[in-house]
Structure 1
Amino acid sequence: MHTKQKLTATQLQIYNYIVANKRKVKDITLRELAGILSVSPASVVRTLKALGYKHYYDLQNEIKEELNRNKVVDDITYQAQYYFSQDFLTDYDQKIADFKKIASKTKDFIFFGIGSSGDLCEYGARQFVNNGRNAFAIGDPYYPVELSRDLFHGKTVIVLSVSGEGQPTIDQVKNFRQLGATIVSITNNEDNTIAHLSDLNFAYHLEFKIIGQTINLTTQVPVVYLLERLSRALNTTGQ
């Protein structure tokens, strides 16, 4: 898709849905898309124009070409190829610069996530330690953060959450904020509760892969990439 410009909240909602559901969008009408999102067709049209498309079918044709071009043997490879081909990767440069400013004022880093995100927190913390910073991971959704005698001023919490809407994670993020921590989050998109609670958010915009009600198979390749970029940025903090 074209590079994302400054979008309104409604336009951002439409953009995020299109990015996460390209296979569906290529086969449905503009009115059907508007109905799914509970917005007017005019709102969809305005969003497309903000993204640089003259017509809805221009977007659909581009999606079809992209899907055909990126056909691969397995889905994980497709998702990784799609992620690393996106224009928004260049948007990370400014956010990495913002992260360096946060890191320069951070005494300790705390990684927080649940499930597979919690496993990646362990990896992220180790990468930060390897790059000379004090870091540890919390994977317990009911860890008594609010009982800590050591307030969290001067600490940065890096939160990993695919959806950004898990209630236990949201509750913990609120606890960390109330205790003075700076919040950096990595989520699938930037329009979710955890992203809105964060001082800095990195989003990766991939199609959700959900089995049943709880099993999330959305690839974590972008999360590993971002954790490594952030850890490498520690070596250039303040430059």
Structure 2
Amino acid sequence: MGIQSSIEASSAKFTPAMQRVATAIRDTPSLVLNKTIYELAETCQTSVASVVRFCQALGLSGYAQLRMSLATELGKETAQYGGNLILGAEIAKSDTLREMASKVASLEMLAIDETVSGLDYEALERVVAALDKAQRILLFGIGASQFVAQDLHHKLFRIGRNAFLLADPHEAWTAALLSPPGTVAFGFSHSGETADTVRYIEIARQAGALTIALTGSPESPLAKAAEECLVSRARESRLRAGAMVSRIAQLAIVDCLFLGVANQRYEQTVDALQRTRDVTHPR
């Protein structure tokens, strides 16, 4: 995972002082390249010790490693996607519509690239096998995460899989509690902190279902509650309504899951897709 994505994924565990450092770097990553640790601490109205703790929370030895890692990352991103990402994920008030569109497009392409390149393919294969063999598939997410759950539901239902999209927490908890043998319970939350989704996974696991999490935070409560975890990588802007970039990253994983499941029974899948297309698009 890249440094900037690691900052995004780790934000929930930062102290207020560390949050200020994270916000400053997210807004303008080049600060780290242009400022000493003392100057950065002053800019963030915190101490040098807090900056060091921030680095260690990311698994780095200190500020020197943060600077080196970020310089390498920014260089690669600039070469691949252009200079917009140097300004960070934040949309500036002065940005034109064209500039905002360019930033969002760059970040979405980067999110897909980081997500796919960082996937745990052994875990992905286990999840595909579980979905293929499942007698019942329960899908639940809240807010923007429900859109991701809805997309997987649509794809699985279209090829005849016994998938259920759960609409509210009480419905999700009830379905999880009454999971029959062969149930797979799938929870979606970019932050991994959504309490209702965590509880749904906990109930399902206690009931004997195989539990799976799709989240952007591998150390989150949701990730720890589930038996299998798939991790997306994304850097969100504060100027957003629900998930934007993170939704695209999660949808990329959903597409990989669908293709994996579809490929398990290739001929059957092609036939199901053709028949459902014929009935929904009559000549």
Alignment-mate amino acid for residue 35 of structure 1:
S
Does residue 86 of structure 1 match 2:99?
A: no
Matched-pair contact (CA < 8 Å) for 2:215–2:229 = yes
**Following TM superposition, by how much is the alpha carbon of 1:17 offset from its aligned partner in structure 2, in angstroms?**
4.1
Match of 1:9 in 2: none
- Structure in which a larger fraction of residues adopt helix: 2
Matched-pair contact (CA < 8 Å) for 2:143–2:242 = no
Alignment-mate amino acid for residue 75 of structure 2:
E
Question: Which residue among 63, 72, 76 is the counterpart of 1:62?
Answer: 72
| CA distance in structure 2 between the aligned counterparts of 1:126 and 1:185, rounded to whole angstroms | 18
**Following TM superposition, by how much is the alpha carbon of 1:111 offset from its aligned partner in structure 2, in angstroms?**
0.8
Matched-pair contact (CA < 8 Å) for 1:13–1:191 = no
Count matched residues. Answer: 224
Please give the TM-score of this superposition, normalised by the length of structure 2.
0.64
Please give the TM-score of this superposition, normalised by the length of structure 1.
0.74
Structure 1: gaps spanning 5 or more residues:
5-11
**Following TM superposition, by how much is the alpha carbon of 1:108 offset from its aligned partner in structure 2, in angstroms?**
1.2
| CA distance in structure 1 between the aligned counterparts of 2:107 and 2:174, rounded to whole angstroms | 38
| CA distance in structure 2 between the aligned counterparts of 1:45 and 1:230, rounded to whole angstroms | 29
| CA distance in structure 2 between the aligned counterparts of 1:58 and 1:137, rounded to whole angstroms | 45
Give the 3 Å change call, closer, same or farther, for CA 136–153 of structure 1 in structure 2: same
**Following TM superposition, by how much is the alpha carbon of 1:14 offset from its aligned partner in structure 2, in angstroms?**
6.5
| CA distance in structure 1 between the aligned counterparts of 2:132 and 2:152, rounded to whole angstroms | 18
Match of 1:47 in 2: 60
> Identity across aligned pairs (percent)?
13
Give the 3 Å change call, closer, same or farther, for CA 87–208 of structure 1 in structure 2: closer
Give the 3 Å change call, closer, same or farther, for CA 34–175 of structure 1 in structure 2: farther
Deviations 1:144-171 (A, max 9, x none): 6348784343111121111110112222
The farther-off stretch of 60-69 and 172-181 is 60-69
SS in 2 for 1:201: strand
Does residue 222 of structure 1 match 2:235?
A: no
Match of 2:141 in 1: 113
Deviations 1:158-211 (A, max 9, x none): 211111101122222222222221111111121101011111111112123345
| CA distance in structure 1 between the aligned counterparts of 2:53 and 2:190, rounded to whole angstroms | 25
Deviations 1:109-128 (A, max 9, x none): 11101112113322211101
Does residue 123 of structure 1 match 2:136?
A: no
Match of 1:232 in 2: 259
Match of 1:159 in 2: 187
Structure showing greater radius of gyration is 2
Deviations 1:34-81 (A, max 9, x none): 626x8376x3696369xxxx8433223223324534245423212222
Provide the alpha-carbon RMSD of the alignment: 3.8
Matched-pair contact (CA < 8 Å) for 2:116–2:253 = no
Question: 1:200-219 residue pairs with structure 2 within 5 A?
Answer: 200-210=228-238, 215-219=241-245
The farther-off stretch of 203-212 and 174-183 is 203-212
Matched-pair contact (CA < 8 Å) for 1:100–1:238 = no
**Following TM superposition, by how much is the alpha carbon of 1:106 offset from its aligned partner in structure 2, in angstroms?**
1.4
